[in-house]
Amino acid sequence: MPETTESPEFGSPDWWHEPPSEPADAHRAAGGRPPFPVDEILTEALGLLAAGGIDGLGMRALARRLGSSTSTLYRQLPGGREELCTRLAERVMYETVTEIAAADLGDEWSSVIEGSAVIAFDALCRNPHSAALFAGQVHFGPMGLLRYEESLRLLLGAGLSPTRAAAADHALARLIVGYALQESHDAAPRRATITEYYRRLDATRFPSVTTVLPALPEDLRAEFVFALRTFVAGLRQLVAQSAGDPDADEEG
């Protein structure tokens, strides 16, 4: 009997090495429409995501946007919407990693961690609703793995234990994604409305709110940068603690 070759498991390293589309000749032989370049599919999918959010990102809607058929898209992306979202996440991650590689972030580990996080946040905000692609567990592609490896290298090199380094990277990723998820809801008029609401409060009943009102962050990015710097300051303390007491409780 002829040997049959099983397809690699979805999201596995071998899967990422397989082309996401069939040759055009195969489509013609099957009587189907020729495939679109994958880069064009992902560009249009990002536009669809920006316009309608994650709930509006579907194979049928994408096919309409491309002027194609759903069956053609499924031949190119057999994993359907899940595969589409996975490849979109890798596309955004490619943009992020490319920018980080080109940036001058200095040599000190915490400066690189902080600068890389800002670049990642900005990349998510430039691609509206793309943070939702990272809200769950993601099948890291080559670019995602490069980012993960470099982040862990910096944290381990700073002196954190493997447990703390892994926990710190995951916490930082959730900080970035969590703030970016709010970007589409942080319109300036809404923020101004909330500020005006606070301004009308009775200062005798809410003296602390009244005190901080002039100092409220102007936008979401400013809030994120403050949270990020606070997080990185905590990492520096952990590194100092690890240097002074290598056997310190990793859960403390």
Residue-wise pLDDT for 68-100, tens only, equals 999 989 999 999 999 999 999 999 999 999 999
The per-residue pLDDT for 25 is 45
- For residue 226, name the pLDDT band (cuts at 50, 70, 90): very high
Q: How far is CA 161 from CA 156, 166, 227, 231, 246, in A?
A: 6, 8, 23, 17, 9
Structure-model confidence comparison of residues 138 and 72, the more confident one: 72
What is the pTM (predicted TM-score) of this model?
0.85
pLDDT tens across 210-224, in order? 999 988 887 899 999
Structure-model confidence comparison of residues 155 and 28, the more confident one: 155
- Residue ranges covered by each domain of the chain: 13-185+217-244
- Asked if pLDDT for residue 32 goes beyond 70, the answer is no
- Nearest alpha carbon to residue 61 among 39, 84, 38: 84
Architecture of domain 13-185+217-244: Orthogonal Bundle (1.10)
Q: What is the mean pLDDT of residues 128-150?
A: 88
